[in-house]
Chains A and B, each alone.
Chain A
Amino acid sequence: MVEMFLSKLAFSLLNGAVWGLIVSLIALGLTLIFGLMGIINIAHGDLYMFGAFLSWYIINYTGNYWLSYLVPPLLIGLLGLFLEKEVLRPFEDRPEYTVIATIAIGYILQHIALAIFGGSTQVVRNPVPASLHLFGIEYPVYRLFAASASLLLLTVLWLILYRTTFGLWIRATMQDKEIAETSGIPVNRVCMVTFALGCFLSALGGSLAAPIVQISYLMGFDVLVLAFIVVVVGGLGSLKGALVTSLLISILENVLSIYLTPLESRLFSLALMVAILVKKPTGIFGRQTE
């Protein structure tokens, strides 16, 4: 009995950590975009959905798994460049209008996906069908791969943000756009590339998650809600907060779902989020201003 519980616990802890790392990729994109441009990207979940769908499509038609991790994020990243420059720029820093615009983008993406890929739920074959003996349970290797890929990406992202000139530009623009502009930082280009980076991360999250989840054209919203919880609890614009909370929330949800349905555990984490927000409206790691 105890052994059974322990193995279940280990399994859900691992699952939570894996899923948390993938979600943190998505939430990081969301929080970067918000922190820099004041855009609440409702279409973020749909970009994730598009990433997953594209990688399903590529696997089906070429059978090449590496391609399925490379092509979708790049395509979606390019789309992000276009979206920021041509569609969203006039609305930046007016949250309401960015919400409307990104709702529209989300609608378009959803029905394009429906038109191209169809309405039925798709499943990607597990690329690494092996499983590993870990903490007394058999754990699928692919999930560990997805987790380590996300971890690697997070590290790269951290290096970009804190060790390169471009990262410095991003952080400077986040703090004060006008002063950044006057000190010679190409703010517009920084915004464009950062938005594309956010889209890239989201699509990559989709590609990594594709073999774990069921793919449908409406899958984006669930992830968007999770990313919102993470971003709001962690504090909008805080990167550390996004990483820590996404791990915590998804581990919590997974452990809870030993006893509850996934729906109820999501409800629990939502209620927890509301409680935290009532206590501290800027989130745990949120900046004190505003």
Chain B
Amino acid sequence: MPQSSNEGFFFNRKIRVLPYLFTLALLVFLGVIGPIHIKTLIMEIMIWSIYALAFDLLFGYTGLFSYGQALYFGVGAYSFVFSLRHLSMNFIICLFAASFLTSVLAALLGLLIIKTKGAYFVILTIIFNVIFYLLAMDLTWLTGGEDGISIEIPPITIGKLCLSLNNPTTSYFFYLFFSLATLVFLKRIVDSPVGRVLFSIKVNEERAEYIGYNIYAYKMFSYVMSGFFCGLSGALYTSWARYASASYFSIIISGEPIVWSLIGGPGTLIGPVIGTAIIIVLLDYLSFYWKYYLILIGTLMLVVLRFSPRGIVGFLKERIEVKLDDCRGPP
């Protein structure tokens, strides 16, 4: 559950913030002195966790289950490539242009998708994803098809400061900034009154409607926001891999954030980030030794779903809250 329980251990803001500060310090420390392969892994986790966060806003906080977010990931990637090619501006502006374009597309498709509910919503998101995947595969002159397009990212200079993604340390902090910014921004959104309304839609759509909220507009907001961040993560991923291909649109990419946020804990924001980190690190080592890792991932998903549908973070929170109740004794 997204609301922070305002009691006991969690009431103490200073203690609550400590683990985050520690993690941040560790990340900065690793960024400065970490070996290159660790940095690469962390960069990958940071970029994908933006994507997981975007999905979590949609599923964990609004209750809209989309199995087609790869559509916006891919559109973000390609709009970044095209804006880099044709706008001839620095790549940070291109990043935002790409995310903005993606959110515009999300708004347009949202007009068709948002109205539907439940099963139809899920299936429509899959269908739109497939439409864009097939388009990307078909229009090879534009997208490069399965082979994709490689890009060069020119460094930008601001005064004496030179920002070049070719430098591993610079790019590490660049991606760290974006993932942190996304986390903080989304945290602000879900803790705001708008976030409360979104959560009420997830818990009980009909009641939220009866209270008088325009649930259509709120769902649209969540969908467009999610599209924006999916686009951002697609663009960032392209800038990291220096490459975009039609496979970014594939349904496999749509399935990833579902796995990550489920395992970490949907509706907690930090959960999906943790889930992303766990799965990516796991796969990094596992897929080297064992080709059939999806068997393990699938089993893990079923186990989590059965025994703790709120994921690792939800599970831990529950435990800590129970413990606190024990300490407090009978009321």
Contact = CB atoms under 8 A, between A and B. Distances in A.
A278 B115 CA distance: 10
A95 B123 CA distance: 11
A25 interface: no
Most buried by B among A34, A111, A281: A111
A236 B134 CA distance: 24
B258 A100 contact: yes
Contact of A270 (B131, B302, B306): B131
Contacts of B302: 87, 101, 104-105
B1 interface: no
A10 to B, nearest CB: 27
Interface in A105-160: 105-108, 110-112, 114-115
Nearest to A261: B138
A91 B65 contact: no
A217 B142 CA distance: 29
Interface stretch (B79-87, B91-99, B217-225, B292-300): B292-300
Most buried by B among A34, A100, A273: A100
Contact of A111 (B65, B126, B130, B293): B293
B309 interface: yes
A36 interface: no
A271 B137 contact: no
A228 B259 CA distance: 22
Contact of A112 (B131, B262, B295, B305): B295
A95 B301 contact: no
Give chain B's interface residue range (CB within 8 Å of chain A).
35 or more
B249 to A, nearest CB: 13
Contacts of A3: none
B188 interface: no
A78 B30 CA distance: 51
Consensus secondary structure, chain B interface? helix
B305 A104 contact: yes
A225 B126 contact: yes
Contacts of A114: 291-292
B119 A95 contact: yes
A99 B138 contact: no
Interface string B54-94: 00000100010101000000000000000000000000000
A267 B135 contact: yes
A263 interface: yes
A271 B134 CA distance: 12
A229 interface: yes
B292 A111 contact: yes
A225 B119 CA distance: 14
Contacts of B134: 263, 266-267, 270
B40 to A, nearest CB: 26
A190 interface: no
B251 A107 contact: no
A63 interface: no
Contacts of B262: 100
A106 B294 CA distance: 9
A90 interface: yes
Interface in A250-285: 261, 263-264, 266-267, 270-271, 273-274, 277-278, 281
A100 B305 contact: yes
B92 to A, nearest CB: 35
A263 B292 contact: no
A283 to B, nearest CB: 9
Given A40-B122, A221-B251, A236-B119, A103 B301 contact: yes
Nearest to B309: A97
A91 B298 contact: no
Contacts of B324: none
Nearest to A112: B295
Contacts of B123: 40, 228, 231-232
Contacts of B295: 107-108, 111-112, 115
Given A95-B118, A228-B126, A274-B131, 13 more contacts: A96-B65, A99-B65, A101-B302, A104-B298, A105-B302, A266-B134, A267-B131, A267-B135, A270-B127, A270-B130, A274-B127, A277-B116, A290-B117
Closest 3 CB pairs of A and B: A108-B298, A107-B298, A104-B301
20 contacts: A38-B119, A91-B305, A97-B309, A100-B301, A104-B302, A105-B298, A105-B302, A107-B294, A107-B297, A111-B292, A115-B295, A232-B124, A263-B137, A266-B134, A267-B131, A267-B138, A270-B130, A270-B134, A277-B116, A290-B118
Interface of B: 59, 63, 65, 67, 112, 115-120, 122-124, 126-128, 130-131, 134-135, 137-138, 251, 255, 258-259, 262, 291-295, 297-299, 301-302, 305-306, 309
